[in-house]
Amino acid sequence: SLDRGVLLDETDGGSVPTARSGSQLPSMSDMLICYPTLMGYYAWRNRARGSWYIEAIVQIFMRYAKNEDVCAMLNRVNHLVSRKVSESCLKEMNQMSQMSEYKSTLRFPHFYLFPGIVIRNSPQV
C-alpha cells in the first residue's frame, strides 16, 4: 500500500521537539498495538482472575506506571505472561504457556503515562 501520510498542523500537548507545523507524518505513526498472544496460539485465562494478559497488565502498570515508560512496562508484561503455565483437567490443555507481544510505531524512545508527576510516600503495590 501507498501511504500519503497526514499533515501535522498542530499538537494538543504543547510543542513536540521534531514536529514542525505543516509537516507530514506517516498515517500509521505513533501507534502501539498489544496482543495477548502470538497469532495462531491460545490466550489463557483463570476462571477466578480472568485473562493472564489483562491480569499482568494491571499488576505491572499499577506498580511501575509512575516510573517507567509504556514499552518498558509491556516488556515486563511479556515476561510475566511467559512465566505462567496452564492448569487444566484436560491432559492436552495442561502445562501450556503463552507469549504476549506488542508492536510499536512510536517515533520517540519513551512514552510515559504520567510525565512529570512525582508521587511521594505512595504505598508500593
Residue 50 has pLDDT above 60, yes or no: yes
pLDDT at 37: 98
pLDDT at 44: 95
Joined together, the cell numbers standing for residue 5 give 501520510
**CATH class of the domain whose range is 32-117+121-125:** alpha beta
Record the pTM. Answer: 0.78
Domain boundaries, the chain: 1-30, 32-117+121-125
Q: What percent of the chain has pLDDT over 70?
A: 82
Indicate the pairing of strand 50-51 with strand 45-46.
Answer: antiparallel
Residue 17 has pLDDT above 90, yes or no: no
Residue 9 has pLDDT above 80, yes or no: no
